[in-house]
Amino acid sequence: MTRTIEEAKKLIESLMKLQEDNTSNYVFPCPRCGHDRMDKIATRNALSRRADVYICDSCGMEEALFDAAGKDPLPLNEWSMVKGFDSEDEDDEQTCRVCGCTWDNACEGGCYWVEDNLCNRCSEKMSELNPYYYTFGTDPEYPYSRGWVEVYANTWEEAHEKFRTRFPDRHGHEGTINCAFFYGKESWERSSMSKGNMGEFCHEVII
């Protein structure tokens, strides 16, 4: 269940005291984006414009740019810290992240788990193809906010076609893929994205 803005703000601001505790050697991730890029000395980080808490410099800059452009801020109940707490309370049925099969609704002909959220049928298909990664920022017109979508295909052209079939180009921006950036396997592994894109991870897998 999603927290209200007031509930989220109370949770976020409870971190401030821990951030300013100089006796602790632990450095908390940025409560807004979830990245591990906070300075150990709290006051060297940015003070959020939305809650009484320190956030990373990148998030501080984004909040300032949003204000300057007159854009709505990222709702407090969508901050990485809040979503992380809420996800601990979820009790979802085990589901394949690709095809959506479950224990009670298996793939036709049967399947079994090879990972907590991946069945053997989808794993076999993925192993025969190349992975491509399409990332998102905070633009509300992207299919998702932050994180990424994985597409498995033989070539870039096939991957782009599969992505566009699922997420067509924006009206008036035909010819431009509706994402922030895209990576092949090697460039993805060289990036830090696999550790999280602004606190979000893979939203969907397309085969």
Question: Average pLDDT for residues 150-154, to the nearest whole number?
Answer: 97
pLDDT value of position 131:
97
Distance CA 89, CA 12 (A): 17
Q: Write the single-letter amino acid at 144.
A: Y
For the chain, the first-to-last Cα distance in angstroms comes to 30
What one-character-per-residue DSSP string does 73-131 give? Answer: PPPGGGSHHHHHHHHTT--PPPB-TTT--BSSSPPTT---EEETTEEHHHHHHHHTSEE
Helix or strand or coil: residue 62?
Answer: helix
For the stretch 91-122, pLDDT in tens is: 557 889 899 999 888 998 889 889 888 999 99
What is the rounded (10 degree) CA torsion for 57, 58, 61, 65? -170
For the stretch 131-147, pLDDT in tens is: 999 999 999 999 999 99
pLDDT value of position 141:
93
Under the banding of pLDDT at 50, 70 and 90, the label for residue 192 is confident
| Max Cα-Cα span within the chain | 58
**Which tokens sit at 160?**
């782009």
Residue with tokens 């949770």: 11
pLDDT value of position 88:
52
- pTM, 2 dp: 0.57
